[in-house]
Structures are given as structure tokens and as C-alpha cells.
């Protein structure tokens, strides 16, 4: 074991987290006292070409076999499966007798598709539809589309489903201008299953806007981010005919802003009643 490994094992987590934040390795959130346009003006945005290229470059490494998978353009050399997502996908496929339709809103260049694919190989048929911004759709169609994996710029572009779909929202709903409207549009599709993952939730009764700052070791960017009200989200799903089957922790953990807005990244699995 290296000296660095021994030292890391003895350093309290709070010290490690502080050091990582100071070095720009950790996520950071700042408050916004205004509307979406104010947050846009104070951030770099998520549609920057540098982000699309960073994700595309990482995806090429995965397809070339030089990495196991990528998440947010970061390469991993060991599997790190999101088992709640896998379980929900398999549940949907079982109900549809081996057929699986996935609407992966904000699915980048198919990262979650590739991470979950080893578990889905026995299915009779799978179609994975990624809805993304124009830069990702262009790159996806140019380099990464397959018979199973397609890229679309909007819900309106989706093909007809062979069976009711599973809607996947992983680290995305918080980055759209109107999360409520976007969620209503998606759960209005012919879908019976819903997975929301890596989403910041608070105990407040209303959504709150802030700016998320990405670690410089990934790419230099910042963008508006909603911290969603957990109670409001659950009420909205219930009123729309969805039953939450379970909740689970997100990857990112808990955070707070300088104005003491406290929240935690969480996920949930729901099914239509």
C-alpha cells in the first residue's frame, strides 16, 4: 500500500471534502436571487461545445475498450452500476415480455445505456431513445447511434413505442428552465415506469434556483440548477397517477449553499397506478 493510500485512510472525510472543494475537485453551489435569466447571465451554460466534445472524447475511449464507462465525461476503469436503475429497467422488460422502450431525457451520448447494457443482453428487443440538446444529438447521430440507440431533439421526434416506455431522468430535470412543465410533458407519454436519479431535493415546499459550478478537473463550466421540493415532486406524481415504489440516495451526496439552502441528491422509482 502506498504512503498516499495510508494517509488517505486516516484523514477524516470532512478534511478530505474541504481539500477537494478548495482544489476545485468538488461540486459547488451558489445562490441566485432572481429568475432563470439571471442565473443564465451568471453562468457559462451547459450547451458549451467544450462539454459536448469532452463527453464525445470520453465515449470514444469507452467504445475503444480503453475505459469501462464514462459519467459526465469522467472515465472509469471499474464498473459502478446504478442498481436501482437496472432493477427498474428489468421490471419494465419483464412486464413487457422481454421488450424494453426507454426514453432517456438528457441522456448525453448514451452513458447510462452502455452502463446498463450488460444486464439487458437477454431481452428480446430494446430501443433506447436519448433526448438531448442539439450539439449532443448531432454528435450522437454522427458517431454513436445504433439500431438500439437513437438520438432525438425533442419528445415530438420520438418514434411510436412498441410497448409502454420507461422514462429515465438521471441528473437532468434540475437543469431545465421549467422542471414542472418538462416533467408533465414526459409523464404524459405512453409510459408505465419512471426513474428519477441524481436529483437535488430539499425539504422546502417550493423549488429553489441556484448555480452549480463544475469541478475544474472535469471541465470549466457552470449552469443554473433547480433544487426541487421533494414534497412538491411527490405530490405532482401522485396527482398524475403515479405511485412511488421507492427512493434511494444519489451519487453526489448532500450540499448547502452560502445562504444555507440544504439539499441532498436523491432518486426514486415510480409506476403508473
Q: Is residue 74 part of a domain?
A: yes
Q: What is the tens place of the pLDDT at every residue in 155-194?
A: 999 999 999 999 999 999 999 999 999 999 999 999 999 9
Range picked from 22-31, 191-200, 250-259 for highest mean pLDDT? 191-200
**What integer best gives the mean pLDDT of the chain?**
87
Structural domain harbouring 99: 47-201+230-252+264-272
Is pLDDT above 70 for 210?
yes
DSSP class of residue 127 equals E
Q: Is residue 4 part of a domain?
A: no
Domain count, the chain: 1
Report the share of the chain in percent with pLDDT over 70. Answer: 88
Residue 218's pLDDT is what? 65
Least confident window among 8-17, 41-50, 105-114: 8-17
Do the beta carbons of residue 99 and residue 162 sit within 8 Å?
A: yes
**E strands, 55-143, where?**
69-71, 74-76, 99-105, 125-131
Q: Provide the Cα torsion 150, 152, 158, 162; round to 10°.
A: 10
| Band of pLDDT at residue 154, cut at 50, 70 and 90 | very high
Residue 45's pLDDT is what? 62
Q: How far apart are CA 139 and CA 21, in angstroms?
A: 32
Give the mean pLDDT of 41-69: 84
DSSP class of residue 125 equals E
Number of Cβ atoms within 10 Å of the Cβ of 109 = 27
Determine the 3-state secondary structure of 28 from DSSP: strand
**E strands, the chain, where?**
28-31, 69-71, 74-76, 99-105, 125-131, 149-152, 165-170, 191-202, 208-213, 222-229, 242-256, 262-272
| Band of pLDDT at residue 10, cut at 50, 70 and 90 | very low
Better-scored residue on pLDDT, 166 or 45? 166
Give the mean pLDDT of 89-113: 96
Residue 48's pLDDT is what? 64
78: domain CATH number is: 3.40.50.150
Q: How far apart are CA 52 and CA 149, in angstroms?
A: 18
Q: Is residue 147 part of a domain?
A: yes
Strand 222-229 relative to strand 191-202, pairing: parallel
By CB atoms closer than 10 A (0-12, 13-18, 19+), residue 247 is middle
Q: Is residue 20 part of a domain?
A: no
Backbone torsions φ then ψ of 96, nearest 5 degrees: -100, 20
Is pLDDT above 60 for 87?
yes
Q: Which three cell numbers stand for residue 155?
A: 419528445
Residue 51's pLDDT is what? 80
Q: Is residue 92 part of a domain?
A: yes
Give the mean pLDDT of 87-104: 97
Is pLDDT above 90 for 209?
yes
Q: Is residue 25 part of a domain?
A: no
Is pLDDT above 50 for 16?
no
Report the share of the chain in percent with pLDDT over 90. Answer: 72
Is pLDDT above 80 for 219?
no
Q: Is residue 10 part of a domain?
A: no
Residue 44's pLDDT is what? 76
Is pLDDT above 90 for 69?
no
Backbone torsions φ then ψ of 251, nearest 5 degrees: -80, -30
Q: Is residue 61 part of a domain?
A: yes
Do the beta carbons of residue 20 and residue 8 sit within 8 Å?
A: no
Q: Of 269, 161, 185, 58, give the one whose Cα is nearest residue 150.
A: 161
Number of Cβ atoms within 10 Å of the Cβ of 106 = 21
Amino acid at each position: 500500500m502506498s504512503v498516499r493510500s495510508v494517509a488517505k485512510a486516516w484523514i477524516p472525510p470532512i478534511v478530505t471534502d474541504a481539500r477537494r472543494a478548495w482544489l476545485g475537485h468538488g461540486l459547488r453551489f451558489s445562490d441566485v436571487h432572481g429568475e432563470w435569466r439571471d442565473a443564465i447571465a451568471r453562468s457559462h451554460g451547459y450547451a458549451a461545445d467544450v462539454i459536448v466534445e469532452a463527453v464525445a472524447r470520453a465515449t470514444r475511449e469507452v467504445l475503444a475498450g480503453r475505459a469501462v464507462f464514462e459519467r459526465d465525461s469522467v472515465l472509469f476503469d471499474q464498473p459502478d452500476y446504478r442498481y436501482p436503475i437496472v432493477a427498474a429497467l428489468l421490471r419494465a422488460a419483464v412486464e413487457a415480455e422481454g421488450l424494453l422502450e426507454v426514453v432517456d431525457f438528457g441522456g448525453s451520448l448514451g452513458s447510462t445505456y452502455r452502463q446498463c447494457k450488460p444486464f439487458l443482453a437477454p431481452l428480446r428487443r430494446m430501443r433506447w431513445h436519448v433526448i438531448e440538446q442539439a450539439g449532443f444529438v448531432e454528435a450522437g447521430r454522427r458517431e454513436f447511434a445504433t439500431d438500439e440507440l437513437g438520438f432525438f431533439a425533442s419528445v415530438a421526434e420520438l418514434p411510436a413505442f412498441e410497448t409502454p416506455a420507461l422514462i429515465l431522468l438521471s441528473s437532468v430535470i434540475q437543469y431545465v428552465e421549467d422542471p414542472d412543465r418538462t416533467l408533465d410533458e414526459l409523464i404524459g407519454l405512453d409510459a408505465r415506469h419512471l426513474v428519477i436519479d441524481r436529483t437535488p431535493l430539499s425539504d422546502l415546499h417550493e423549488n429553489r434556483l441556484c448555480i452549480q459550478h463544475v469541478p475544474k478537473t472535469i471541465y470549466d463550466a457552470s449552469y443554473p440548477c433547480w433544487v426541487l421540493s421533494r414534497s412538491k415532486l411527490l405530490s405532482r406524481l401522485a396527482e398524475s397517477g403515479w405511485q412511488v415504489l421507492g427512493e434511494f440516495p444519489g451519487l453526489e451526496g448532500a450540499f448547502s449553499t452560502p445562504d444555507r439552502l440544504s439539499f441532498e441528491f436523491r432518486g426514486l422509482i415510480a409506476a403508473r397506478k
